[in-house]
Amino acid sequence: MSDEVVDLLRQAYADEVETVMNYLANAIYLETFDGEDIAEDLMEDVEEELGHAEELGYRLRYYGEVPPASMDIEPAQDMLQPPEDSTDVEAVIDGVIEAEEEAIGTYEALVEAAEEANDYVTADLATELLADEQAHKAAFLSIKKSF
């Protein structure tokens, strides 16, 4: 068993769960016409991010680990907290982009650690999730250009 792989799986799982909470909060909170479009995008991403967490949880179980529960997760996504002004759509977009960049870094590290540990199933999963996060980032960068 690779401690680094397990640590990165735990981190990625916790990040995905926290992202679900924050995307949901922002989607509910956003107001204005532009905010409605972003809220819809975030709600779609909630389902995908939850699926990511589930897949990561199963990899943790493979290693005999329990996926982190609420008391095991230390919140870290300041950038995804709903803005004070519910019409500040750009702040939410910037937060999503920053969070996606962090997720990309985590998945790149997980791919490398899993390959070094000869855990090709985890490496494949991390590569798949990395592609999803890169697509999310690209989508929100495109949205940002319209503001």
How far apart (Å, rounded) are the C-alpha atoms in residues 91 and 89? 5
Domain regions of the chain by residue span: 3-145
SS3 88: coil
3-145 is a CATH 1.20.1260.10 domain: yes
pLDDT at 34: 76
pLDDT at 147: 80
How far apart (Å, rounded) are the C-alpha atoms in residues 105 and 128? 14
Residue 64, phi then psi, degrees to nearest 5:
80, 20
**DSSP labels, 25-63:** HHHHH--SHHHHHHHHHHHHHHHHHHHHHHHHHHHHHHT
**Best CA proximity match to 16, nearest among 76, 62, 92, 66:** 76
Q: What is the full per-residue pLDDT of the chain (147 aa) written as tens digits?
A: 789 999 999 999 999 999 999 999 999 999 887 789 999 999 999 999 999 999 999 999 999 999 999 999 999 999 999 999 999 999 999 999 999 999 999 999 999 999 999 999 999 999 999 999 999 999 999 999 988
How far apart (Å, rounded) are the C-alpha atoms in residues 143 and 97? 10
